[in-house]
Structure 1
C-alpha cells in the first residue's frame, strides 16, 4: 500500500487495532484498541492501571496491527514509541473524538467524559508494513 492507502485503510470505519506491548519479563501483551490516526501518530486512551499502561510506562515501544478479515485480506502493522499524557484537556478531547468514531457523534461527549480521566497515548509511528490483496 502507498502511504495514502494505508492511512485510508486504518481510518476506514470502526476497525480496531491490536496493540502489542512488552511485559516486564519480556513477553508480549496484546489488547484490542479503539484509536485514531493523527498525522504520524496513533492516538488512543487507556486506564492508568491497565497492563498496557504499565508496560508503556516502563518500555514505550509498541506495535499496532489493523487488519481486514474479508478476502482478499489486508493488514497494516505500525511500530514506534508511545508517550503518555494525563491531567490535560487533550485527554478528554481525544477520548471524545475516538468515541465519535466508534459510537457515533451523538455519543462522543459521553465517551469523552467517561474516558477523559484516563491516559492519552500518543504513539509516534516509526515503521509501517502494509499489504492489501493478500490472497490475490
Structure 2
C-alpha cells in the first residue's frame, strides 16, 4: 500500500467501534455503485466479504477495480480513501475465518461465530484489496 505521512490510517480503519466502509465498484454500464461493507485489516490489506450474486460481487468479478471510503464525521474530521484491485477468494476456510473476524468487529465477539457462520458460506466472496493506494487526512477542519 502507498504510505501516508505517518501511516495512522491503519489505526483509523482498525479502531473500535468499527467504521462501515463505503465501497465503490464499476457497474456493467460504467457507472459507479456505492454500498456499505464491513471490513477488517489483514496486516496492510483490507478484507471484506460480499455475495457472489450481489451487484457488488458481480461488479468485482467482472471489473476488479474498487475504492473504499472511511470517515470520522466529528470535528475536526478525518478520512481515509483506498483505491485498489479486488483479489477474490472462495476458499471456504478462509471465507469462514474472515467472516467471523469481520463480524466480531461490528457485532461484538459474543456474536462473531453466529455471523461468521451466516456470512462465511458458499455463494459469498472473500475480497482482499491489493495494489492499493491510500489517501488520508486528519484534522480536516483544523
Q: Secondary structure at the match of 1:134?
A: coil
Q: How many pairs align?
A: 136
Unaligned 5+ segments in structure 1 are: none
Find the counterpart in structure 2 of residue 133 from structure 1.
139
Greater shift after overlay, 80-89 or 95-104?
80-89
Q: Following the alignment from structure 1 to structure 2, what is the Cα–Cα distance between the partners of residues 37 and 116? A: 17
Unaligned 5+ segments in structure 2 are: none
Coordinate RMSD, CA, aligned: 1.2
Moved over 2 A (4+): 1-4
Q: In the TM superposition, what whole-angstrom CA distance separates every residue of 1:16-59 from its partner, at most 9, and x where no partner exists?
A: 10000001111000001100111231100111111010000010
Q: Following the alignment from structure 1 to structure 2, what is the Cα–Cα distance between the partners of residues 3 and 49? A: 38
TM-score normalised per structure 2: 0.91
Please report how far the alpha carbon of residue 3 of structure 1 lies from its aligned counterpart in structure 2 after TM superposition: 4.5
